[in-house]
Amino acid sequence: MKKISFVIVLLVFMQYSSVAQEANSRIRELGINLSGSTFGIRYKTGNENNLFRVSLLSLGGSSSKYLSASNIESTDNSQGLGFNFGFEKRKLVSDNLNIYYGSDLLTSYQRHISKNGSPTQTNKGFSFSPGLGLLLGFNFKINSKINISAEVMPSISYSIYKSSSEFNGTTNKTSSKRFDYGLGTNGVNLTLSFNL
């Protein structure tokens, strides 16, 4: 009975040690990401070799109101959101430097509404764009808390755009679809992150 108890205690201790080691090797990074003319927040979690990543990019909008000399009011409102998530696999090059590769699922949504006074005209539209980005980059550890990473992400995306225009009671609707591929300025990313 004592041998069985000893084996059980030993197995529990070994399991606890392996879980503690996994917890110690767990990586969680939160950073500020700059991509072309947009910036966002990026969160990564995982272990030394494989990380899950979530990026919130281009959250924003605008609202404007114009009043002409003849007191005719015009308004223009727009909102947009970009959201990416994916995985990266890291390979250690030196103590402070990793290279990585992976992929991100890319999504963006934008909408706008504009109204003009006399004669009354209203324009509404939205666009939705899903895509896939392949990434290649490096991660440099400045110290135990701060990292900087740079990556390129060639991508393919499919965009859907729909709009409607109403002028003096007549409504016209249009829609378009577009397929994009390549490496643009938004495909080059720089991230300053902090280990949590």
Which tokens go with 137? 């980059």
pLDDT at 7 exceeding the cut of 70: no
Residue 21 pLDDT: 43
Q: How do the domains of the chain map onto residue ranges?
A: 28-195
For residues 99 and 90, is the Cβ–Cβ distance under 8 A? Answer: yes
Mean pLDDT of the region 49-60: 86
**What is the enclosing helix (H) or strand (E) of 88?**
strand 73-94
Residue 12 pLDDT: 46
Q: Name the band, by pLDDT with cuts 50, 70 and 90, for residue 15.
A: very low
Question: In whole angstroms, what is the distance from residue 41 CA to residue 74 CA?
Answer: 34
Tell which residue, 149, 127, 138, has the closest CA to residue 55: 149
* Structure confidence by residue, pLDDT tens digits, 33-44: 888 777 889 999
pLDDT at 17 exceeding the cut of 70: no
Determine the CATH number of domain 28-195. 2.40.160
Residue 71 pLDDT: 76
Q: Cα torsion at 73, 120, 115, 158 (round to 10°)?
A: -160
Residue 175 pLDDT: 93
Mean pLDDT of the region 84-109: 93
* Structure confidence by residue, pLDDT tens digits, 112-156: 988 887 667 888 999 999 999 999 999 999 998 999 999 999 999
Percent of the chain with pLDDT strictly greater than 90: 49
